[in-house]
Amino acid sequence: MSAPILVFDLDGTLADTAGDLVGTLNLLLARDGLAPLPTTAARSMAGAGARALIQRGFAASGAPLPPDRVDSLFHEFLAHYRTRIAEETRLFPGAAAALERFAGAGYLLAVCTNKPEDLSILLLERLGVADRFAAICGRETFPFSKPDPRALTGTIAKARGDQGRAVMIGDSKTDVDTAKSAGVPVVAVDFGYTETPVAAFEPDLVISHFDELWEAIATLAALHPSACT
């Protein structure tokens, strides 16, 4: 029997990336003569990907963009972001300890994100935890991405995990919908980047700190005896 597996979203779940994402957005805004957006105000924009962040950021600054400009700025955004990917980004409190505890208990760990795969690997390397994961899967790893459930099931397969013994951990409607469509239990963190409280998307459980994840997985194991253990 394969080991149980935990599959994590990245931005807003494992790592607080808003500072570097919004910082990169502000470089583009400044070049157009627009005022920077404070990270606190733009934080909720950071969870839907770079294109959406660019669109929302320029619109919030009173300068909405045509689609072709979004496409050109997207490539510039990624180039700038790569140079500062971990200047302000940190793992959320308790995340490193939780990864260590679950790995020590025999769990497989994986990442399923819509962030580009190469940037996801680079970021996790800079944060010192890339080697914890049996698979790090990003937007172009498969021909589909979240909320398509095949992004999650493909990540589980790539990590050589068992879909019947998997749990997804995320911060957004996209993560919850992906897990539900795949038939995988989902734990949501409430400190991520969604504008709507994540509990409204009806995950199996919600946690407010990674210190709570061990107990949450134990609770899910009791609710889903064939999973999580």
Transcribe 70-90 into DSSP letters.
Answer: HHHHHHHHHHHHHHTTTSS-E
AA identity, residue 144: F
The separation between CA 1 and the C-alpha centre of its own chain, rounded to angstroms, equals: 28
Residue tagged active-site, from 9, 11, 16, 20 = 9
What Cα–Cα distance (Å) separates residue 207 from each residue in 48, 106, 170, 228?
21, 22, 10, 17
Cα(159)–Cα(15) distance, rounded to whole angstroms? 20
Q: Which H/E stretch holds residue 122?
A: helix 117-126
Determine whether 20 is an active site residue.
no
54 vs 13, 22, 60, 146, 187, CA distance in Å? 21, 9, 10, 20, 29
Residues in the chain: 229
Catalytic residue annotation: 9
